[in-house]
Amino acid sequence: MNVLAEIVAGVREDLEGRMAQTPLDHLEELAARAPAAKDGVGALRGDCVQVICEIKRASPAKGALAPIADPAALAAHYAAGGAAAISVLTEQRRFNGSLADLSAVRSTVDTPLLRKDFIVTAYQLWEARAHGADLALLIVAALDQPALTSLIEQAHAIGLTPLVEVHDQNETARAVDAGAQVIGVNARNLKTLQVDRGTFARVAPLIPEHIVKVAASAVRGPQDVIAYADQGADAVLVGEALVTGPDPRAAVADLVAAGKRNRETGRP
């Protein structure tokens, strides 16, 4: 079973409906009227390990996680806790997300926003920008090399910072060759949904120093932030641990503090 292929097939089907309803030129007009996108690279690189907090109602691996009736309110808690960026799931079939969630969050916080979805066309990049995103996820495993390179270039052209997701050494080489400036290493294999907590340690040494390194998945608390920092992470992306916990603001603050403490010790 290739879960990723199934998800992408559904995304393409839903995309056809949105494209029929909203012409590309309308999205371009909305994007042109939107405030300038925030610097995604600058937001994720700093003196401490940055924390990306995710608004995530469900996942293919775990099913329903949290109802999140008010994503904007949750985003406000994340921002108050010190999130460097906020990731908003917009895929509807497996993650119960929507572009409306992205717009609602954008209207509430000034924090840089990542549109997290299965992006396969430039139309989705324009959607992301029109609804307030500053960064957009591109998954190497879902794209051939020409498409990956083209989407990275088009994202930059419209002001988005692409966060390019990889799962192994081969995908990392492809991301670097395609011109990625931010690479996210996902411990979860999207084809099988299995988690390998050793993925980042294997892959990070292959990422050049000038590229921002993001550790995604398998972050359960402050100790995982410290562990990923020791392995060279510039940022971590946290979702499930935040949406299922009782106090997201305090949880984010604890993660941010762990990132600061790690860098203050002088460890790499």
Task: Please give the pLDDT value at position 191.
Answer: 84
Low-confidence ranges of the chain (pLDDT < 70): 1, 262-268
Task: Please give the pLDDT value at position 237.
Answer: 98
Task: Please give the pLDDT value at position 265.
Answer: 54
Mapping DSSP onto H, E and C, the string for the chain reads CCHHHHHHHHHHHHHHHHHHHCCHHHHHHHHHHCCCCCCHHHHHCCCCCEEEEEECCEECCCEECCCCCCHHHHHHHHHHHCCCEEEEECCCCCCCCCHHHHHHHHCCCCCCEEEECCCCCHHHHHHHHHCCCCEEEEEHHHCCHHHHHHHHHHHHHCCCEEEEEECCHHHHHHHHHCCCCEEEEECECCCCCCECCCHHHHHHHHCCCCCEEEEECCCCCHHHHHHHHHCCCCEEEECHHHHCCCCHHHHHHHHHHHHHHHHHCCCC
pTM of the shown model: 0.95
Task: Please give the pLDDT value at position 268.
Answer: 42
